[in-house]
Chains A and B, each alone.
Chain A
């Protein structure tokens, strides 16, 4: 049996205290194996981003047990196991594209030559090598997000966390980016946890979709995506793809109903 990348048992998160208290997550159990591409999907306020932040040690669980690569999330962070991509690219304005990609390597103490080589390699991976010397503001939103992805993958993290990374992009760019992420995932073999509120996006990308329901946030359904590993534009017209979209949509509606009764 291979070691799990993420394992959660009975994880909950409560914000605030007293009458102001809100329970964001409750009773989360999950297991993510190496090479998985897991999407967290659910309506806003279901705690999917909070769950991602707990995994990435940007917040701590109130109860339960959470391990990443068999360690606490805090230790995993210190060991630089995470690459993170947010909804906005968060590139540093004062650094060129190349220097932005180099930033994590710089923090880890890589020599400048090794950094430059790695940055070039990552930029050609996201097909932006021609833009190495540009500043972030000279790039489109989609290109900026590709730089952010190159930066997150530059140090070969074992886990890539993506929090609605394409939420601000137009539909066409979004679909191109999805192709891109799938290709990177296949080429690097990294494990991905991907937060989205788009059903087609979750189905197209994932090996497994975790459907979440709100108040308090729980995982209400788990849907394995049995599409072929190689996915392309034809996949988007595949009948199995549509069937899975329907399945996720129904699971979301069930989750929604469940909280009302």
Chain B
């Protein structure tokens, strides 16, 4: 409830201030202008939004799958872990979205994979690093307990390490939802098909149709929230036991 009130307070202040100071709409449009544009262009912006979501979600799935596979291997084999992890952490510090023009060059401007690939690479590192930590940062007493009953490594992985990693995994997935949309839109800025959010925003801005551009940004933001909410639901399903989700009884 306080969140909803705060939201409307900000919108009203925004509307009032842009009116009082006569801010030009190419600098910051009034919320009422953005809403008008949002409804007038709704079929277009939701269409381009859907295309961008498809890229982001495909990249998200691909990146997450690869990340989880790497994490499982890293948790299982020490040699693999010691060889790979330092490099992965170094790469994680690189702004990978900057690879977008190179991906366009590799896969072709119109090939959807040049966008999906960027998203996948951007998602890959945070998910992989966090999931690996979750698989490894297990209470030593739990490992000794498993050792005392002579549990084989595969059982320790299934029964202890993977459940232990779930909170880490979901935390990184939540970050990844926003990252995947950012990566997709940035990749679109570098060219390619026109019927996507990134290109639509660039085009409307060049035509000084700023309320349209802002309406498209609103769509991106709504899609991002829906994506995030989806992960929250999945989290509740898979780990109702976790401290963050405990209901008071």
User: Quick check: is B242 within 8 A (CB to CB) of the other chain?
Assistant: yes
Q: Is the CB of B148 within 8 A of A90?
A: no
Cα distance A82–B243 in the bound complex, in angstroms: 31
Residues of A close to B155: CB separation below 8 A: 107
Q: Is the CB of B141 within 8 A of A88?
A: yes
Q: Is the CB of B243 within 8 A of A58?
A: no
Q: Is the CB of B243 within 8 A of A108?
A: no
B149 to chain A, nearest CB (A): 5
B89 to chain A, nearest CB (A): 28
Q: Is the CB of A137 within 8 A of B145?
A: no
Cβ proximity bits B140-157 to A, threshold 8 Å, 1 near / 0 not: 011011111111000100
| Among B148, B160, B166, B242, contact of A58 (Cβ-Cβ < 8 Å) | B148
Cα distance A92–B166 in the bound complex, in angstroms: 13
* B-side interface mostly: helix
Do A80 and B159 contact each other (CB < 8 Å), given the known contacts A58-B144, A137-B246?
A: no
User: Quick check: is A44 within 8 A (CB to CB) of the other chain?
Assistant: no
User: Quick check: is A86 within 8 A (CB to CB) of the other chain?
Assistant: yes
Q: Is the CB of A90 within 8 A of B149?
A: no
Cβ proximity bits A135-151 to B, threshold 8 Å, 1 near / 0 not: 10110000000000000
User: Quick check: is B163 within 8 A (CB to CB) of the other chain?
Assistant: yes
Q: Is the CB of A90 within 8 A of B139?
A: yes
Which residue of chain A has its CB nearest to the CB of B142? Answer: A90
Q: How big is the A interface, by class?
A: 20 to 34
B154 to chain A, nearest CB (A): 11
A103-157 with Cβ < 8 A to chain B? 103-104, 106-108, 135, 137-138, 155
Residues of B close to A104: CB separation below 8 A: 149
| Among A83, A88, A93, contact of B242 (Cβ-Cβ < 8 Å) | A93
Residues of B close to A107: CB separation below 8 A: 146, 149-151, 155, 159
User: Quick check: is A183 within 8 A (CB to CB) of the other chain?
Assistant: no
Which one of B145, B151, B239, B246 has the highest number of Cβ atoms from chain A below 10 Å of its Cβ? B145
Residues of B close to A155: CB separation below 8 A: 149
Q: Is the CB of A93 within 8 A of B150?
A: no
* Contacts across chains A and B counted by CB atoms under 8 Å: 56
User: Quick check: is B82 within 8 A (CB to CB) of the other chain?
Assistant: no
Do A80 and B150 contact each other (CB < 8 Å), given the known contacts A94-B239, A135-B241, A137-B243?
A: yes
Which one of B144, B146, B148, B155 has the highest number of Cβ atoms from chain A below 10 Å of its Cβ? B148
A76-96 with Cβ < 8 A to chain B? 77-78, 80, 82-84, 86, 88, 90, 92-95
Q: Is the CB of B147 within 8 A of A92?
A: no
| Among A84, A106, A138, contact of B144 (Cβ-Cβ < 8 Å) | A84
Cα distance A171–B155 in the bound complex, in angstroms: 37
Cα distance A137–B242 in the bound complex, in angstroms: 10
Cα distance A137–B241 in the bound complex, in angstroms: 9
A35-89 with Cβ < 8 A to chain B? 56-58, 77-78, 80, 82-84, 86, 88
Q: Is the CB of B151 within 8 A of A58?
A: no
Cα distance A78–B141 in the bound complex, in angstroms: 18
Residues of A close to B160: CB separation below 8 A: 92
Q: Is the CB of A92 within 8 A of B142?
A: yes
Residues of B close to A58: CB separation below 8 A: 144, 147-148
Do A92 and B148 contact each other (CB < 8 Å), given the known contacts A86-B141, A137-B243, A137-B246?
A: no
Do A94 and B241 contact each other (CB < 8 Å), given the known contacts A103-B159, A137-B246, A138-B249?
A: yes
B134-183 with Cβ < 8 A to chain A? 139, 141-142, 144-151, 155, 159-160, 163, 166
Q: Is the CB of B148 within 8 A of A82?
A: yes
| Among B148, B159, B239, B241, contact of A84 (Cβ-Cβ < 8 Å) | B148
Which residue of chain A has its CB nearest to the CB of B160? Answer: A92
Which residue of chain B has its CB nearest to the CB of A88? Answer: B141
A169-227 with Cβ < 8 A to chain B? none
B159 to chain A, nearest CB (A): 7
Cβ proximity bits B232-249 to A, threshold 8 Å, 1 near / 0 not: 000000010111001001
Which residue of chain B has its CB nearest to the CB of A154? Answer: B149
Which one of A92, A137, A138 has the highest number of Cβ atoms from chain B below 10 Å of its Cβ? A92
Residues of B close to A138: CB separation below 8 A: 249
Residues of B close to A56: CB separation below 8 A: 148
Residues of A close to B243: CB separation below 8 A: 93, 137
Given A84-B148, A92-B142, A92-B159, 7 more A-B residue pairs with CB atoms under 8 Å apart are A82-B148, A84-B145, A86-B145, A93-B242, A94-B242, A95-B241, A137-B246
A-B contact pairs, 11 of them (CB 8 A): A56-B148, A58-B144, A77-B147, A77-B150, A78-B150, A88-B141, A92-B159, A95-B241, A103-B149, A104-B149, A107-B146
Q: Which residues of B contact A (CB under 8 A)?
A: 139, 141-142, 144-151, 155, 159-160, 163, 166, 239, 241-243, 246, 249
